[in-house]
Structure 1
Amino acid sequence: MRIAITKGTAQDHVAVTRTDGSRTNFTFAKKGPYPHDAFHFFIERGLGMQVGFWGLVARGMEPEAVQAMALAGGHASAKRAAAPDPGIVELLQAERLVECFEAASWSGGADDAAIMAMAEPAWATSLVPPPAGVPAKLGDIRAALDAFLGEWRDAAVNATLELEWPEGEGDQG
């Protein structure tokens, strides 16, 4: 699956072409200097997640449907602390780690121990276990993410960077 993220000013634009040729497009409001969905890509790919955000999109789900599924499945928050539906555990695991890497990018960086110190209570609060093998995979995730973030930082508004979701990683096409 090919993912093209175009840098905007108030929001970034994402165009997806699945291996079966189907397409979807969406926008995501800027939460910081880097695209939120890129963090998802590198974290989910690095952890081999099959049913995180990008795995579900590869399977044919529309991004809005993934969000609706997360809300319906009990996306844990301070207001709704209940065990989530098992079908959204990877979504929550990824989202919590994404938030940690985003926070680190906004503050100038964090080492693996600091990322884990942020992530562990986030997973616990969301009532999900940590993904398997996270500490051993953080270095590879960070290296791939940092390379992308450097390109993004240097890219002009309206520039497009492309990512390739590994075939077979959730893709049913």
Structure 2
Amino acid sequence: MPSPRLIVGLGNPGASYADHRHNLGFWFVDQLADELKITLTPQGKFHGSIGRYRELWLLEPSTYMNSSGRAVLALANFYKILPDEILIVHDDLDLQPGDIRLKHGGGHGGHNGLKDIQACLSTPDFWRLRLGIGHPGERSEVINYVLKAPRKEEQALIDRALDRCLLAWPQIAAGDYAAAQRVLHVRETEK
């Protein structure tokens, strides 16, 4: 598999959304930018904040979650980045806090950010780093749930998951997704 050339963290822009569960993608990209010692800078033509490390681009769309695809498509088209070279980092209701899954392709699972990216790229064949936030139990509560900060005990699990993502970063960066999955796909209870 090719190494990723574009890492996209999904979230909603602005301070009022910063600590929400829906912004886990932004949290990871911020931590990765710190690790790589790069700064994300707003770029209007790419509809988001971007940073570059060698041949790798980091992106946090400023389009709000439901229109994330516009930012991904703009940057991918400009730099001729193929879907296989894109890793989308996002929150996932179907995984418990602290659980992580790295996968290629598949459906959007009702995630509006993924849905828009698939529509804009005309393919689901990109990589996803799915970070668990748990489910509120009632479908009618989902919007309210994702637009709130995690509870203290959930935050601790999520923080450890983000640490594990950074630990797996060398394997992800090398395109060795199988090795990265061995680091990432460990349930918090197995540690």
TM bucket, shorter chain = 0.3 to 0.5
More strand by share: 2
Of structures 1 and 2, the one with the larger relative CO (CA 8 A, separation 6+) is 1
TM-score when scaled to structure 1?
A: 0.34
TM-score when scaled to structure 2?
A: 0.32
